[in-house]
Amino acid sequence: MVSQKIKNIYLLGCKELWSLWRDPVMLILIVYTFTVAVYTAATAMPDSLNMAPIAIVDEDHSTLSERISSAFYPPYFLPQTTELNHMDAGMDAGEFTFALNIPVNFQEDILAGREATIQVNVDATRMTQAMVGAGYIQQIILSEVNEYVLRHREISTLPVELEMRARFNPVLDQKWFGSVMQIINNVAMLSIILTGAALIREREHGTIEHLMVMPVTVFEIMMSKVWSMSLVVLLAAFLGLKLVVQIILKVPIEGNLWLFFFGALLTLFATTSMGIYLATMSKSMPQFGLLMMLTLIPMQMLSGGMTPRESMPEVLQNVMLIAPTTHFVELAQAILYRNAGLSVVWPAFLWLIGIGTVFFYVAWKRFKDTIHTMA
């Protein structure tokens, strides 16, 4: 009896794989999700500045002001000398992200020990460049002023020196973070899409009625979709991680990939169940797409992949504990970034087992009621 159930699950899963193979749109989506999408996410939105336009108004025309003006150069900044009356107009027109105004007698005030100010205008609508660039500009100006002043008078060195060491991403490269996080997010997204689309495809083609008259149970139908779609996502994630992340982007992966994919398998058990549940709630593929957007976007935004969970309100942190992506992001970052072992990530594994079991039961109950209604 048990062997027959396993055989039914295996054969139904092979049917799902064959149906997927004959769906070119889904195949293109799978390839795109773990190749082009991963590469784009890693390279298209860098955290560092790149050719940020900055307008420089030098009213002092001194040696120090020229040193400061010449310190802004590509590839971080794209400097342009302008006049004071054009500075505000250029900012309003979006020509400059930053505008630097060095006032008259700036060098004289600095050497005399008087208070001196430099005006820096920032276009805050360009969020990424504005936040990073403001810090860069401050460091550059202070560095040039300190170096210039040291030539004219002695400044005592502070007895404390701050030495920063970046762990797990020593070069502070956005690609190391963006590429891996895109793989993590795509695992959850693609598993929901594939399982939901498989069930809706059967309903639209009328094959679900054929399954109802066969000697198979709802559990067997669900498990066949779970294992087949999970296999596809795991293979695609493995190829994306090896080909795009490690070979093309040259991102080092220090963690145990077997442990990571075991966590991904537990996550897929929950997310594929979610896909089946959403498919039973939908009457067509457009409805399924809308429900998936309402479910997937909050999961990805609040699971800790985009911003740390510690920065979120405590209520959201507690609510998101029921989302499988929260624990998948936690264990994936620990394994792939910090080379954590099972002794560190086992609580996330237990959470995923519990969440997956609950989600599978709810989806099974809903699917069973839906089939009985159709009958």
Per-residue pLDDT tens for 59-106? 999 989 999 999 998 888 889 888 888 888 888 888 888 999 999 998
pLDDT at 215 over 70: yes
Residue 127: helix, strand or coil by DSSP? helix
**CA dist 95 to 46, 76, 79, 126, 338, Å?**
21, 16, 11, 12, 42
Going by the DSSP 8-state scheme, the letter that residue 242 receives in this structure is I
Give the range with max mean pLDDT: 125-134, 180-189, 284-293, 351-360: 351-360
> Distance between CA atoms of 367 and 331, rounded to whole angstroms?
30
pLDDT at 29 over 70: yes
Given this model, what pLDDT does residue 348 score? 93
pLDDT at 340 over 80: yes
**CA dist 93 to 34, 57, 72, 80, 98, Å?**
39, 17, 22, 15, 12
- For residue 121, list its beta bridge partners: 99
pLDDT band at 266 (very low <50, low <70, confident <90, very high): very high
The residue written with tokens 């560092």 in the block is: 48
High-pLDDT (> 70) share of the chain, %: 94
> Distance between CA atoms of 219 and 197, rounded to whole angstroms?
18
Given this model, what pLDDT does residue 43 score? 80
Given this model, what pLDDT does residue 191 score? 92
Given this model, what pLDDT does residue 265 score? 94
Q: Which amino acid type is present at position 138? A: Q
> Distance between CA atoms of 365 and 367, rounded to whole angstroms?
6
Residues in the chain: 375
Q: Which amino acid type is present at position 366? A: R
Q: Is 307 exposed, middle or buried (0-12, 13-18, 19+ CB in 10 A)?
A: exposed
pLDDT at 236 over 90: yes
pLDDT at 328 over 90: yes
Q: State the average pLDDT over residues 98-126.
A: 88
Give the range with max mean pLDDT: 49-53, 163-167, 298-302: 298-302
pLDDT band at 15 (very low <50, low <70, confident <90, very high): confident
Strand order across the beta sheet in which 98-102 lies: 77-81, 52-58, 98-102, 119-122
> Distance between CA atoms of 322 and 333, rounded to whole angstroms?
19
**CA dist 151 to 58, 68, 138, 146, 147, Å?**
22, 16, 21, 9, 7
The mean of the pLDDT values for the chain is: 85
pLDDT band at 373 (very low <50, low <70, confident <90, very high): low
pLDDT band at 152 (very low <50, low <70, confident <90, very high): low
Q: State the average pLDDT over residues 166-170.
A: 75
Given this model, what pLDDT does residue 159 score? 65
Domains, the chain, in order of start with CATH, read 2-44+172-374 (no CATH), 52-150 (3.40.1710.10)
> Distance between CA atoms of 328 and 267, rounded to whole angstroms?
6
Between residues 177 and 357, the one the model is more confident about: 357
Tokens representing 342 are 């099972």
Give me the half-sphere count of Cα atoms (radius 13 Å) on the Cβ side of residue 190: 28
Q: State the average pLDDT over residues 269-295.
A: 89
Contact present, 288 and 279 (Cβ < 8 Å)? yes
pLDDT band at 372 (very low <50, low <70, confident <90, very high): low
Q: Out of 175-184, 203-212, 333-342, which region has the weakest mean confidence (pLDDT)?
A: 203-212
Contact present, 222 and 16 (Cβ < 8 Å)? no
Give me the half-sphere count of Cα atoms (radius 13 Å) on the Cβ side of residue 364: 17
Between residues 172 and 359, the one the model is more confident about: 359
pLDDT at 153 over 70: no
> Distance between CA atoms of 298 and 308, rounded to whole angstroms?
14
Given this model, what pLDDT does residue 156 score? 55
Given this model, what pLDDT does residue 284 score? 84
pTM of the predicted model as reported, rounded to 2 decimal places: 0.77
For residue 317, give the nearest of 342, 357, 327, 296 by alpha carbon: 327
Q: State the average pLDDT over residues 342-346.
A: 91
Pairing of strands 77-81, 119-122: unpaired
pLDDT at 173 over 80: no
Contact present, 259 and 342 (Cβ < 8 Å)? yes
Number of Cβ atoms within 10 Å of the Cβ of 114 = 9
Q: Out of 10-24, 121-135, 328-342, which region has the weakest mean confidence (pLDDT)?
A: 121-135
pLDDT at 1 over 70: no
